[in-house]
Amino acid sequence: MASILVTGCAGFIGSHLTEQLLHAGHRVVGLDNFDPFYDRALKLRNLTACLAHPRFSFHEADLRHGLDALVDALPADPIEVVVHLAAKAGVGPSVHAPVAYLENNVIGTTHLLEWMRLRGIGKLFFASSSSVYGNTPQRPFREDQNLLAACISPYAASKLSGEMLTYTYHQLYGLSVLNARFFTVYGPRQRPDLAIHKFVRLLRAGQPIPVFGDGTTARDYTFVLDTVAGIVQGVDYLLAQERVYETINLGNNRPVPLLELIQAVGQAVGVTPTLAFQPMQAGDVDVTYADISKARRLLGYAPHTPLAAGLAEFVRWLDAQPAE
C-alpha cells in the first residue's frame, strides 16, 4: 500500500476520496486550508470518520503561503503520490474575483510542484475541470482538443494553467502526471453554493428555482463516488507507471439539460418546481459532455450511478444533517 498526500482533503470530493483510500489500505496525509468560501464546520464534519483512523494524519496549511508553509506543515515521511484537489472552485465567483483564483489555483499549485520537486516526490494526480473546454463546438469533449482559445472564465483559465504547469514539471523534472478533468460532480457533502444543493433548499422553502437562460444548457452530472472511483483508479495507474503524462476526462458521458435536472430534483424532493427565468450568467458554458473512452481504456473507469439514484442519495444525506 502507498502513502498518499491529498490536498483539499476536507472538501466535498477530497473527504470522500480520503475515506476510499483509507478503506483500500493506503496511508493518507491530508492537507486543507479551510478556505472561508463556506463554513469550516461543514468541512470538519466531512472529516469525522477520517480523523479517527490510524492511517490518517491531518495538517492545516495554505498552498499560497509558499514552500516554507509546506515544509513546516507536512511531515518528512515518504509520500509516493500527491492527489491535488485543493483549489478555489466555481466559475461564477471567479468572474468577480479573478486574482483570488489565480493566487490559489496557479500560484498555490506552483508552490506544491516545487515542494514535490525538492522532496523528490515523482507522481501527481491533478484535478482539472471540464470548464477548460469552454464553448468549443466539438462534442463530446476529447482530451486532445486544442484549448488555448477555449477558456471563458478565470476559473477555467486557472485550471488550464495548472495543466500547463504539470506538463512543464513533467518535461523538466520527470514528474509523472495524470490530469483529470472533472465534470459537474454532485452528491453527499456537495458545497452549499452548487446548483443541486440550492435547488433542494429552494424547493423545500416553497421558492422558485432560477433558470439562467432558456433551460437548454446541459451538464454532464457525475455522482461523487463515480468520480472518486476514477481517482482511486488513477492513483493505482500512477503507482504502476515508471514515467507518464496523460490527461483524461472523468465524466458521465450524458449531458442533462437544466430543465430536466430541475424536474429530477423536484421528484427526489417530492415537490413540483416553479421556475424563474433569468439571463445567462457570465462565464457559463452551454454544454459539458465528456468523452470517457480514454479513461475507460487507461483506468477501467466506468461510472454507473443514474441521476435519480444519485439525487436520492444526496437528499437522504441532506436530511440527515444537523439543523444549522
Pairing relationship of beta strands 256-257 and 218-219 according to DSSP bridges: antiparallel
- Return the active site residues: 155
Cα–Cα distance, 8 to 30 (Å, whole number) = 7
Please tell me the distance from the alpha carbon of residue 323 to that of residue 212, in angstroms, as a whole number: 30
Alpha-carbon gap, residue 43 to 299, rounded angstroms = 29
- Amino acid present at 237: Y
H helix or E strand, kind and range, residue 158: helix 154-173
**Distance between start and end Cα atoms, the chain:** 39
**Angstrom distance (rounded) from CA 150 to CA 103:** 21
Q: Which of 68, 65, 94, 70 is nearest to 7 (CA)?
A: 70
Q: Which helix (H) or strand (E) holds 164?
A: helix 154-173
Establish whether the linkage from the previous residue to 154 is cis, with ω within 30° of 0.
Answer: no
Taking a C-beta distance cutoff of 8 angstroms, is the pair 31, 6 a contact? yes
- Contact between 283 and 152 under an 8 Å Cβ cutoff? The reply is yes
Rounded Cα distance, 230 and 295, in Å: 8
Grid coordinates representing 235? 492513483
What amino acid is encoded at 144 in this protein? Answer: D
Antiparallel, parallel or unpaired: β 176-182 and 218-219: unpaired
DSSP 159: H
- Neighbour count for residue 233 (Cβ, 10 Å): 19
Question: Which residues fall within 8 angstroms of residue 159, CB to CB, at 6 or more apart?
Answer: 87, 105, 128, 129, 131, 132
